[in-house]
């Protein structure tokens, strides 16, 4: 059996129907999960980001460097 969520009989019991916020709630059900609806961006890392542990001296260093990933 495949089951998704719970059955909501009364809309007032469903937390997303309360419109006190300046945004609309949505629920997405798709292959790939919530990352498809994230609507954010991530910046490409620089060489500086890969050298943090070696530079700061208190964490395990990355096994790869920026130059290893730069072609992609």
pLDDT along the chain (72 residues), means of 10: 60 61 68 73 86 82 89 88
For residue 5, tell me if it sits in a domain.
no
Closest to 48 (Cα-Cα) out of 31, 60, 65? 65
Domains in the chain: how many in total?
A: 1
For residue 3, tell me if it sits in a domain.
no
The confidence score (pLDDT) of residue 61 equals: 82
The confidence score (pLDDT) of residue 5 equals: 62
For residue 2, tell me if it sits in a domain.
no
CA distance 31 to 34: 9
For residue 42, tell me if it sits in a domain.
yes
For residue 4, tell me if it sits in a domain.
no
Range of the domain at 24: 11-69
For residue 28, tell me if it sits in a domain.
yes
Q: Does the predicted model carry a pTM greater than 0.75? A: no
The confidence score (pLDDT) of residue 18 equals: 57
The confidence score (pLDDT) of residue 12 equals: 64
């Amino acid at each position: 059996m495949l089951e998704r969520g719970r059955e909501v009989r009364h809309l007032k019991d469903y937390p997303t129907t309360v419109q006190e916020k300046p945004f609309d709630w949505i629920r997405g059900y798709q292959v790939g999960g919530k990352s498809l609806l994230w609507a954010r961006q991530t910046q490409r890392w620089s060489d500086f980001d890969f050298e943090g542990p070696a530079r700061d001296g208190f964490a395990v260093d990355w096994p790869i460097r920026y130059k290893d990933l730069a072609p992609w």
